[in-house]
Amino acid sequence: MSNATTSASGYDIRPLSAAEREKYAAAFTPEERHVILHQGTERPFCGTLLNNKKSGIYACRLCGLPLYRAGSKFESGTGWPSFYEPFDPQHVTELVDRSHGMIRTEIRCARCDAHLGHVFEDGPPPTHQRHCLNSISLEFYEEGTEPEQKAALPVGQASA
């Protein structure tokens, strides 16, 4: 495992502390907390970003780390926004998920550990992957705008 503090695309990927995560999640609704912090899943065909066709970046709702480019989004028919590759592979962490009597690959934000969804091996070329995401875990930024970065505070520095 790498100890890199900056991803190949130039973003700070140092892990947030539990206190920082809680601070950034303080305004979340109970449903947002359930999905993002406790590995829940929003209902299919209900997510606000499912039918978004604009150019831009999909970033982590909790910390602002860019996760997916609009150009890698495709219509999967599953009811959740689907992408064939991440913005930067260092921005997404994969974990084995053995819940609900299945073995799947869960994906989380590499910086803040927010639950994003799952990745499957039934996507389109060139990767043949389907990153199946919860809209509630993402924030969309139209082309030309950048997400606010909520990076980890340096050790010993208190938050405002």
Give kind and range of the element (H or E) at residue 78: none
57 in Cβ contact with 83 (< 8 Å): no
Catalytic residue list contains 132:
yes
What stretches of 82-122 adopt beta strand conformation (E)? 82-83, 92-97, 104-109, 115-120
Give kind and range of the element (H or E) at residue 138: strand 138-142
Nearest C-alpha neighbor of 5 from the set 151, 146, 158, 156 = 151
Nearest C-alpha neighbor of 130 from the set 114, 146, 107, 148 = 107
DSSP label of 84: S
Question: Which residue out of 60, 63, 112, 132 is catalytically annotated?
Answer: 132
Q: Catalytic site residues?
A: 132
